[in-house]
Structures are given as structure tokens and as C-alpha cells.
């Protein structure tokens, strides 16, 4: 037996317990939920997930028309995102749909942050005033009743709405309320996953941009700079270091960088000449963080590289210069 809600215009009504939902509707919703989760796990786009959700809901009843609207960043307007059965001219007409206290079902649900049910669009006060133009256009398309739920983030921000239009003006039943509630939960899951992925992509892009800017700045510094791992593996060298060593960028990054630059023959020629020209002023800095220690080797213009390495159970800095060799135990 279908449980009826009281016929109150513009009502915000609490839905009954799920025990009153018919088994067929419950099974259909479970299948739609599984399909949406599979698409999310597969990395499908937000449009694909929401489109599949609306298709599944529409298949439950030929008189139902499902729709997903997404809120813009400032939370002032809603934009159609999914709903294959929604007429295109209706989508264009409500693009964008203002969020306010009296803007049909979806605009009002987003404003109130709670479910809104319009059991008769022709007489419901939420479609009057500034929303009268929406009422006339909705009735032209055969929409007679509608209900909508807001899609709220964990911190209470409106991300969008999930709404259902019906071609008949009648009381909303428990099955139909359960449909809109469960579909709203699925849509919210897809939207939050999409936003999290977009935020991660944006953060990674910002990191890459920051790293690129830092490399550009380092290349402009008139010093030779090399970043070595504890085992001597070259992680990064700047342009001046490449010019000094005569190595190509791909040759300077690798395990043999230390052998190429600090070989005995090279230390006695090019390195010695650089020390005599620049006074052999050097700076060695160690940056260590647990097991991910890195050694940063920096030099003044035309000075010699200084090699830092580990020795035994304790750490030691070994500085190679033209005339001196000094060790410091840390």
C-alpha cells in the first residue's frame, strides 16, 4: 500500500520510514546505486555518472522526469547538469536558475537547504511572484508537480539539487520520496568525488607551477647549484652547473654525476682553476628528514663543487678543495 503525504502547497514534508517502501522500488534503487558506484570507481566523468543516475530514475516511471542542477561557486544560481528527459528549451529557460525563497522547488530547496514538495505547480505559491514565468513555462511542458532535495556538502554548502517532475498533479507517495532522497545521496557522492578530484588536480598543477618557477629562479642565480641524494645520485643541477661541467641535462642527472664531476683528474684541473679564480669559497648545506635525507650543494660563481657524503654509522661532511681536505663529524 502506498503511503500518502498531506496535500500542503509548498510543503516541506518528512518522509516515512523505509519499511513502507515497496520491495520493487528498493531493489531498483539498490541497482542504480551499484551502477553509480561502479562508474565512480572506474573514474567516469561527473556528466556520465549523473546521466546514468537520471536514466535509472526515469526508467522507474514513464511519467517521471529527473534532473540534476549544480550550484555555482558563490551559491547564488543553479545550472542544469543532467536529465535526458528534461526538454532542451526548459533547460535553456532556467539557465541559470536563481536560488531564493520563492523559486519553485529546486531554487527554494537550495535556499532553505531542505526538501521541498510542490504537489500542484498551477496553484503552489512557490511558483508565484518572480517565479510566475517559470510556472507558465513548466505548465506548457506538462509539468504538474515536482519535488526537490538540496545536495549539501559536509560543511553545509549547497552543491546542487536533485529534482523530479511529474506529469500529474497529485499527492506525493512514500516510494517517490524515497526515490528522490536516495537519488540525491548518489548525486551528492558523485559531485563530492568530482570536486575532490578537481581540487587534487588543481593542487598538483599548482605544485608543478611552483616547482617550475623555483627552477627558473634557481637557474637565474649566478651560482652553481646541485642537489644530491645521500648516495650521490644527482637530483637536480642548475644551468650554470651544466655550463661549468659541460654536461647535458640528462647526463647530469644520475648516479654517475659525482664520478663525472668529482673524478680525481677533474678535481686537479678544472676544479683547481676555479678555486684559484674565485678564492675557493664554498658552502655545503645538508637537508635531512628521517630516511628521505637530501644533500644540497651550493657554490658561489665559478667556485668549486663541494662534496658531502655519509661515512660509517655517524654522518660526516667531507669538503674537497684545491689545497685542503677537511672532515667534520656531525
Query: What pLDDT digit, counting tens, does each position of 20-79 carry?
Result: 567 888 888 899 999 998 998 898 999 999 999 999 999 998 999 999 999 998 999 999
Q: In terms of Cα–Cα distance, which of 38, 108, 53, 120 is closest to 85?
A: 53
Cell of residue 293, nine digits: 635525507
- Cα 32 from Cα 43, distance rounded (Å): 17
Under CATH, which number does the domain 18-200 receive? 3.30.450.40
Summarize pLDDT for 116-167 with one digit per residue, the tens: 999 999 999 999 999 999 999 999 999 999 999 999 999 999 999 999 999 9
**CB environment 165-175: b (16+ within 10 A), e (fewer):** bbeebebbbbb
Q: Whole-prediction pTM value?
A: 0.61
Max avg pLDDT among 33-37, 169-173, 280-284, 305-309: 33-37
Angle at the Cα of 90 from the Cα atoms of 85 and 94, rounded to 5 degrees = 125
Same-fold call for 18-200 versus 221-329: yes
Reported as a pLDDT band with limits 50, 70 and 90, residue 109 is very high
Angle at the Cα of 186 from the Cα atoms of 180 and 189, rounded to 5 degrees = 140
Summarize pLDDT for 180-233 with one digit per residue, the tens: 899 999 999 999 998 888 888 888 888 888 877 877 877 777 888 888 787 777
* Alpha-helical runs (H) found in the chain: 23-41, 46-58, 88-93, 106-112, 132-140, 174-220, 239-245, 249-252, 257-261, 264-268, 270-278
- Cα 223 from Cα 220, distance rounded (Å): 8
Query: Phi and psi for 159 in degrees, rounded to 5?
Result: -100, -20
Mean pLDDT value across the chain: 76
The three-class DSSP label of residue 173 is strand
- Cα 88 from Cα 84, distance rounded (Å): 9
**Would you kindly state where each structural domain of the chain is located, as residue ranges?**
18-200, 221-329
Give the total residue count for the chain.
Answer: 330
Higher model confidence: residue 242 or residue 44? 44
The three-class DSSP label of residue 316 is strand
CATH architecture assigned to 221-329: 2-Layer Sandwich (3.30)
Contacts of 42 (CB under 8 A, 6+ apart): none
Higher model confidence: residue 20 or residue 251? 251
Q: Which residue has the cell 543532467?
A: 82
Residue 319 DSSP one-character state: E
Alpha-carbon 13 to chain mean position: 34
Amino acid at each position: 500500500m502506498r503511503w500518502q503525504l498531506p496535500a500542503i502547497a509548498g510543503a516541506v514534508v518528512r518522509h516515512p520510514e523505509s519499511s513502507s517502501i515497496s520491495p520493487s522500488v528498493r531493489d531498483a534503487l539498490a541497482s542504480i546505486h551499484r551502477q553509480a558506484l561502479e562508474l565512480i570507481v572506474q573514474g567516469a566523468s561527473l556528466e556520465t555518472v549523473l546521466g546514468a543516475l537520471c536514466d535509472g530514475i526515469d526508467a522507474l516511471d514513464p511519467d517521471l522526469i529527473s534532473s540534476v542542477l549544480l550550484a555555482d561557486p558563490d551559491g547564488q544560481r543553479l545550472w542544469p547538469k543532467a536529465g535526458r528527459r528534461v526538454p532542451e528549451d526548459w533547460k535553456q529557460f532556467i539557465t541559470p536558475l536563481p536560488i531564493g525563497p520563492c523559486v519553485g522547488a529546486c531554487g527554494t530547496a537550495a535556499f532553505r537547504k531542505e526538501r521541498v514538495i510542490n504537489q500542484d505547480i498551477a496553484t503552489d505559491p512557490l511558483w508565484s511572484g518572480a517565479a510566475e514565468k517559470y510556472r507558465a513555462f513548466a505548465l506548457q511542458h506538462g509539468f504538474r508537480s515536482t519535488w526537490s532535495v538540496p545536495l549539501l556538502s559536509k560543511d553545509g554548502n549547497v552543491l546542487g539539487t536533485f529534482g523530479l517532475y511529474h506529469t500529474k498533479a497529485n499527492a506525493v507517495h512514500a516510494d517517490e520520496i524515497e526515490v528522490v532522497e536516495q537519488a540525491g545521496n548518489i548525486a551528492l557522492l558523485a559531485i563530492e568525488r568530482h570536486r575532490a578530484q578537481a581540487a587534487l588536480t588543481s593542487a598538483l598543477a599548482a605544485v608543478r607551477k611552483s616547482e617550475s618557477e623555483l627552477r627558473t629562479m634557481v637557474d637565474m642565480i649566478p651560482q652553481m647549484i646541485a642537489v644530491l641524494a645521500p648516495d650521490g645520485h644527482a637530483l637536480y643541477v642548475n644551468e650554470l652547473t651544466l655550463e661549468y661541467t659541460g654536461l647535458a641535462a640528462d647526463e647530469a642527472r644520475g648516479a654517475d654525476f659525482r664520478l663525472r664531476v668529482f673524478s680525481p683528474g677533474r678535481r686537479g684541473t678544472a676544479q683547481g682553476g676555479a678555486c684559484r679564480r674565485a678564492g675557493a669559497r664554498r658552502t655545503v648545506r645538508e637537508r635531512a628528514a628521517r630516511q628521505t635525507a637530501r644533500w644540497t650543494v651550493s657554490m658561489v660563481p665559478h667556485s668549486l663543487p663541494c662534496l658531502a657524503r655519509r661515512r660509517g654509522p655517524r654522518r660526516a661532511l667531507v669538503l674537497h678543495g684545491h689545497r685542503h681536505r677537511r672532515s667534520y663529524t656531525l
